[in-house]
Amino acid sequence: MSSITVPRPITESIGSRIRVVFGSSGDEWLLLLDHDDGDAKWQVKDWKGIPSAVGKQLNNCTAKGRDCKRVDFDSSTGAWYVNGVKPDGTGGHSWWGGTEASRERLSAFGVRDVAFGCTGGGSYSSEQYVILQGKNGYCCSGLVPDDLTKRLEGIYNRGKSIEFVRLFGNNQYYVQDDEGAMWNVQNNVHLGKELKGSGPIHDVAIAGDGCWIVIRENHAVTSTGVDKSLVDKLTTFYQQQRQRFNKRKREINDAQRLIRLEREEREREERVRQEREERERQEREERERQEREMRQRQEEEEERQRVQRAKEEADKAEKERQRLEKEKLELSAATRISKLEAHLEERAIEEANDIKQMETNLSKRKRALRESLECLPESSRSRVGLDEDRRTESKPSCVICHDKEADHAVIPCGHLCLCSDCSTDYRSLFGVSQTCPLCRGIVQGTLKIYQSSG
């Protein structure tokens, strides 16, 4: 927020600050000047030769601190109207006299302006008046020229605004509205030419003797016969207001320039601050990034070490498990071998006893047969064909199951003592200390033996 205050501009044009009313000649006049230097507003009221009642009410307004907002009078008929309001908009009041207009109309709410004129002759019967109300409301006396009445009625019907109306003697008038301006100045060629000129018109005044004045934006145009003091006052006011306007314009430009410089300085300081904060933010983010990366590396290293330790512990545990499993297998194999060896030994003993018994029985049968053959003739004994030397050949059986033919030899001792099934069971124990079931030699493997049938 800037500490510099931009001065209040002077907005209204110079011409809009002027109100002029003529009496019966160019030497009778009323002048209202609304001064504005940008810091203060005030009104200067000046007149010469006007009706005393009007002068009295103007003095009353000044004494009460009121500005005169609306004023008009007609010297021929004696009609007049004055409205005063305090600068803050309060204390508004109206005064009038010498007019046929009713109190109800003049005191009605929304009266915006009052104009008096006459048809000529200088009696009450010649009075003309127009009262403007609000945007385009109006009321007027019956003596107002028909073309003016039609103009006001048309503006009202079309919903447009009436800016102001001025009435003068001998049915002369001037009206300005949203559609432009219309006037009747009879045969006043110079005034008619001026009214046709370019540029806005803020006021028109015509004296009873035909003197006139036209108030424009930045200058006033007057006819001959207008009081020189009035012309001088207008000229001075235009000059003063132009000087005040130009001075205030320079003050506003200077203030705006200072505000702009101040704003640029604040913006520069703000940019410097933002740049500093941005650098600090980037540096902070870079530090945080480095710290995050360092923490991440540390965490990764710790995780790697943890995984490594876990792996080592797992390897250690696996080795221990394998060792225990191996010991368990060795113990189980040794136990199985011991049981197998005991079973084989028991079976071998039984088989040996059976063989011995069978051999004993066979010997007894052979002996009995020989004894029986000795009782037979020689020819009969030859037919029996008992050959003591002939031996019955038989294939070896498995020393484990004693059921199937032994067709697998133990390596390296070469004993043919295992069948196919028992050889498979025996091989499942390889890696554990094993011995041959016959010679108790170390077993390295088994070999299938194929025997010829011839």
Summarised one tens digit per residue, pLDDT across range 165-212 is: 999 998 999 999 999 999 999 888 999 999 998 899 999 999 999 999
| 209-212 long-range Cβ contacts below 8 angstroms, 24+ apart | 209/24, 209/25, 209/26, 211/22, 211/25, 211/26, 212/22, 212/185, 212/188
> What is the amino acid identity at position 347?
R
E strand segments, 288-441: 408-411, 416-418
What average pLDDT score do residues 365-390 get? 68
**pLDDT value of position 426:** 75
Q: How far apart are CA 424 and CA 437, in angstroms?
A: 15
Average pLDDT for 348-353: 78
pLDDT tier for residue 155 given thresholds of 50, 70 and 90: very high
Q: Lowest-pLDDT range, 343-347, 377-381, 424-428?
A: 377-381
Across 1-10, 73-82, 291-300, least confident range: 1-10
> Residue 63 — pLDDT band, cuts 50, 70, 90?
very high
Average pLDDT over residues 315-322: 90
Please count the other Cβ atoms lying within 10 Å of the Cβ belonging to residue 432.
Answer: 15
β-pair type (201-206, 41-48): unpaired
Rg (CA), the chain: 72
* Residue 296: CA count within 13 A, CB half-sphere: 6
Predicted confidence (pLDDT) at residue 389 exceeds the cutoff of 70:
no
Pairwise CA distance, residues 128 & 119, whole Å: 7
State the Cα angle at 305 between 299 and 311, rounded to 5°.
135
Give the pLDDT of residue 345: 75
| Spatial separation of the C-alpha atoms in residues 428 and 444, rounded to whole Å | 12
38, two tokens: 């940008």
For residue 160, the number of C-alpha atoms closer than 13 Å in the C-beta half-sphere is 14
Contact 110, 84 (CB under 8 A): no
Alpha-carbon distance values, 104 to 5, 8, 24, 108, 114 (Å) = 47, 40, 29, 6, 14
pLDDT, tens only, 392-408: 446 788 888 888 888 88
State the Cα–Cα distance between residues 129 and 115, nearest whole angstrom: 6
Q: Is the pLDDT of residue 157 over 70?
A: yes
- For residue range 75-134, list pLDDT tens digits in order: 988 999 999 999 998 989 999 999 988 888 888 888 999 999 998 754 445 889 999 999
d(CA 191, CA 170): 15
Q: Is 425 a residue whose pLDDT tops 80? A: no
Strand boundaries in 217-367, DSSP class E: 220-222
| Per-residue confidence (pLDDT) for residue 52, from 0 to 100 | 94
**Residue in the block written with tokens 């200072």:** 258
With bands split at pLDDT 50, 70 and 90, how would you rate the model's confidence at 433? low
At 370 the pLDDT is 76
pLDDT band of residue 28 (cuts 50, 70, 90) is: very high
Over residues 383-396, the mean pLDDT reads: 56
More reliable by pLDDT, 235 or 2: 235
Phi/psi class of residue 121: alpha, beta or left (left: φ > 0; alpha: ψ in -120 to 50)?
left
Tell me the average pLDDT of the chain: 88
Pairing of strands 111-118, 173-177: unpaired
**Which tokens in the block code for residue 265?**
């300085």
Q: What are the residue ranges of helices labelled H in 87-227?
A: 103-106, 146-157, 189-195
- Residue 270, number of CB atoms within 10 A of its CB: 11
